[in-house]
Every structure is written in structure tokens, then in C-alpha cells.
Amino acid sequence: MKIQILGTGCPKCKKLAENAEAAVKAAGVEAEVEKVTQINDIMAMGVMMTPALAIDGQVKVTGKVPSADEIQALLA
């Protein structure tokens, strides 16, 4: 499983990355957490508001920071 954090590195993006890593640990799943910071790469995925979260290339959340529990539910 591949989890992508889409954002330029703002505090919200960093918090989303922390929440995603906590959700992966809590869920006990094998996942790679990758940060995508290049604006062209983010726009290529169809994201216009950051931060955003993508799981296996599919954008699940845009423009907000979901909690670790919310992310864990998306992983299930």
C-alpha cells in the first residue's frame, strides 16, 4: 500500500503526515508514506487544495487534515 501526502510542506501538511503514520501503525498494515511536494505533481493528481491524502494513487481527502482515526478507517 502506498500513502501519499500532497502538500508543499506547510504545518497542516506535516500534521497530516504525522496522522497518516500513526494510522498505519495503529492499523498494523504494511504501507509506504510518501510526501509529494512538487506543485506540478500535486496538480497532475487533480488536487487544487492542499493538504491532500492519496491511497494507492487515489485521492481520498483534500483541503483538510483528517485525524489518525479517520485515516485508519480509509485504510480498512
- Domains of the chain by start residue, with CATH: 2-75 (3.40.30.10)
Cell numbers given for 37: 511536494
d(CA 26, CA 7): 23
| Ramachandran area for residue 13 (φ above 0: left; ψ -120 to 50: alpha; else beta) | alpha
Q: What is the pLDDT of residue 18?
A: 97
Instruction: Report the first-to-last Cα separation within the chain, whole angstroms.
Output: 11
Active-site annotation holds for 13: yes
pLDDT beyond 90 at 30? yes
**Choice among 3, 5, 6, 13 that is catalytic:** 13
Residue 54: the pLDDT is: 98
Buried b (16+ CB within 10 A) or exposed e, 30-47: ebeeebbeeeeebeeeeb
User: Per residue in 55-67, pLDDT tens?
Assistant: 999 999 999 999 9
The reply to whether 31 belongs to the active site is no
In this predicted structure, the answer to whether residue 26 has a pLDDT above a threshold of 90 is yes
Catalytic residue among 1, 10, 43, 73: 10
